Chains A and B, each alone.
Chain A
Amino acid sequence: MSLLQVKKMSHDFGGLRAVNNYDLTIEPGQVRGLIGPNGAGKTTIFNLITGIFKPTEGDVILNGRKVTGMQPHQIASRGLGRTFQNLQLWRHMTALEHVKMARYSKISYGLIGAFFGTSKRNMEEKENEEKAHNLLKMMGIDHLSDQVVINLPYGDQRRVEMARALAMEPKVLFLDEPTAGMNPEELIQMMDIIRYVHKAFGLAIFLIEHRLKVVMELCEVIQTLDFGHVIAEGTPEEIQNNSKVIDAYLGKELVI
């Protein structure tokens, strides 16, 4: 059974059809890419699947359960983690608090624990803290765990966001332009991180990317989107040689 299935999903913004009849199947452990020119609807697709927008038509099935119309936090706690295109971190919180926060749905001490500081709460908080430290170590930023995130350099902020997404123990991870705004060195580090978490957690990964180098190297299957339609789907080689994709990116060749 596939991990995530999207069936005939469409979405309208007012009169504009932003996404049209979109289909997607992600198998456990698969790395998939979504590319397309600016404004093609890539982030909208992410927002539709993660529950921020409700699709006008179609269904999203996660782990064999229909999650269409659920709240984002419900979908997230069923195993769908994500990062954002323009880093949505909590500006007053430390790196450690970010990662701990993503374990919110795993907390079982309840309000009694929160109000009265029971031993159960202390134990759980400690456990979560250890797990958070491990993730930060994995990202190589454990020494920054007590820093408020807005004081961190951009590359480290990306790592915090990645650690935060991993802390919710997702089965499939959505990465919205994980290398946006990075220099070539940081880019290679980020690609290593993505490869590493893919292996270490056996995660399925679905990523939006503008840099073709990243998609071509990482992904097994790539979808190309243009004006809300999937215009091509296939392996990196197939996509590279697909005339429709070339047209969408570079424009049609004029034959005179």
Chain B
Amino acid sequence: MKTLSTKIRESYSHVPLLGWLFGALVAVILEHFLGDMLADTIGLPKIPVLFGFVIILKKPLLIPSAAAYVSLTYVLPIGVIARMSGSLVNKISSKLFNLSIVITVLVHLALLYAILHLWSDISAYRVLMLKLTLIAIILTLSLNVVNGYMGEFSCSHPGFMALGAYAASTFTVVLFVNDKLFGPAILPAALGPFMFPIALIIGGVTAALGALAIAVPSFRTRGDYLAIISLAFMFIIKSLIENLEVVGGPRGLSSQPDLANLPTVFLWTVGCIWIVNNFVTSTIGKALNAVRDDEMAANCMTVNTKRTKILAFLFAAFWAGVAGGLFAHVLRYVNPGTFSLQKLAEVLAMVYFGGLNSVYGSIVGAVSLSLLGEALRPLEILKWIFIPLLLILVMIYRPTGLIAFKELNVRNLVKPKQTE
């Protein structure tokens, strides 16, 4: 058995990332055109939305059909194409790689987007889930900057998210929507997509300003104190919004214009990953690690520790705010109740499950827990036993998370893999 799995791994070791992406693209194209037919012949009521998980849990009798569907549409095409196209894709990949790293990365991203787009085209549910997963990546990554890279325990992320969500929503609703709270639209709706980045940045900056309010007093202390202060901040923001009738109070704020389509969310997520990765690999970002591991030594080695800490906190809050803005425009409704303990537990779980101090880890944590949360939905209450159990197991066997302390090296990721 072991020899078989090593054999399989060996035979795929020369497949570059580009090969896998080609395989996935073919798989989603197949599903796009033949999915309905295949599901019909196998005896499934419709295309399984989430790799068959939901169907399996709802109707256990359909397990063989769902397994057959998944292996026929995803596993088989990806496996075959990745294996077959190995040498050709390696050639393309090395050509691209020699040309320029920027173009290589852009080609990979374009392919990835095409795959996600085609995959999510099947149902509105997939689109929504994909968007929320991408937003979760931004959120997890930004919290990892504080909790992982800087080693503090901050609990205020839902608060920052709320600030971002409400600031961005207010901005777009005032400008583009005839709303009974804010009056008629100021600008024509056609300008929406151009103003949306500004709205998100306003959301991020608002969150960063909120962060400044807790960073200045709480960074005089460390550890538990910051956790408590930030937790208090989260509740303050929640009750502040609940009592702010201008933005709808506890009833929430709705009728945001439909600006957060899939490409927008995808671009912002990619941008966030890029910027965060740039930051944490620079010496300025590495200073966060130095502060975490030994603050006094860092200070004696010319690192401005106070500035470093505040900067990291504001940076994380900014991205949480952007994530909040996107979140509000994806759901097109927000209420203060959303940004409470449940959200906090979700984000913290994603960070600690995926892995501290690692961009990979955050992506893995956000994607796997979002998928798991959706896939296990039919289990209802049991879901809340299963997921925490999984977290406990991860904490026992890998205390720092699945992929901790690993740098995201884009160059290594996209480079061609020659067999010889």
Contacts and interface: CB of A to CB of B under 8 A. Distances in A.
Nearest to A97: B286
Contacts of B289: 90, 92-93, 97
A109 B283 CA distance: 10
Contact of B303 (A97, A104, A113, A165): A104
Nearest to B306: A71
A71 B299 contact: yes
Interface in A33-49: none
A82 interface: yes
B216 interface: no
Interface in A108-149: 109, 111, 113-117, 121, 125, 128
Contact of A73 (B284, B286, B299, B405): B299
Interface stretch (B122-130, B228-236, B274-282, B341-349): B274-282
A107 B284 contact: yes
Given A92-B405, A104-B302, A168-B302, A114 B285 contact: yes
Contacts of A241: none
A50 B300 contact: yes
Given A93-B289, A114-B284, A105 B302 contact: yes
B405 to A, nearest CB: 6
A84 interface: yes
A52 B286 contact: no
B296 A100 contact: no
A90 B290 contact: yes
Contact of B290 (A93, A117, A125): A93
Contact of B302 (A89, A92, A102, A117): A102
B338 interface: no
Nearest to A100: B283
Mostly helix, strand, loop or mixed at chain B's interface? helix
Contacts of A71: 299, 304, 306
A77 B302 contact: yes
A164 interface: yes
B293 A92 contact: yes
Contacts, number: 101
**Which range contains the number of B residues in contact with the other chain?**
20 to 34
B49 interface: no
A63 B279 CA distance: 34
B301 A104 contact: yes
B158 to A, nearest CB: 24
A183 interface: no
Given A52-B296, A88-B296, A93-B290, A73 B305 contact: yes
B175 interface: no
Contacts of A102: 301-302
A234 interface: no
A91 B151 CA distance: 13
A125 B279 CA distance: 13
Given A82-B300, A88-B294, A104-B303, A115 B279 contact: yes
Contact of A76 (B300, B311, B357, B405): B300
Contacts of A107: 283-284
Contacts of A72: 296, 299-300
A101 B302 CA distance: 9
Nearest to B278: A117
Nearest to A103: B283
B278 A114 contact: yes
Nearest to B287: A104
Nearest to A121: B282
Contact of B286 (A82, A93, A165): A93
A125 B300 contact: no
A82 B302 CA distance: 11
B357 A92 contact: yes
Contacts of B278: 114-117
Interface string B183-220: 00000000000000000000000000000000000000
Contacts of A82: 300
Given A90-B294, A91-B293, A115-B275, A101 B282 contact: no
A72 B302 CA distance: 7
A85 B259 CA distance: 58
Nearest 3 A/B pairs, CB to CB: A90-B293, A88-B297, A105-B302
Given A90-B289, A101-B287, 7 more contacts: A89-B293, A97-B286, A100-B283, A101-B290, A104-B303, A105-B302, A168-B301
5 contacts: A101-B298, A101-B301, A105-B302, A105-B303, A117-B278
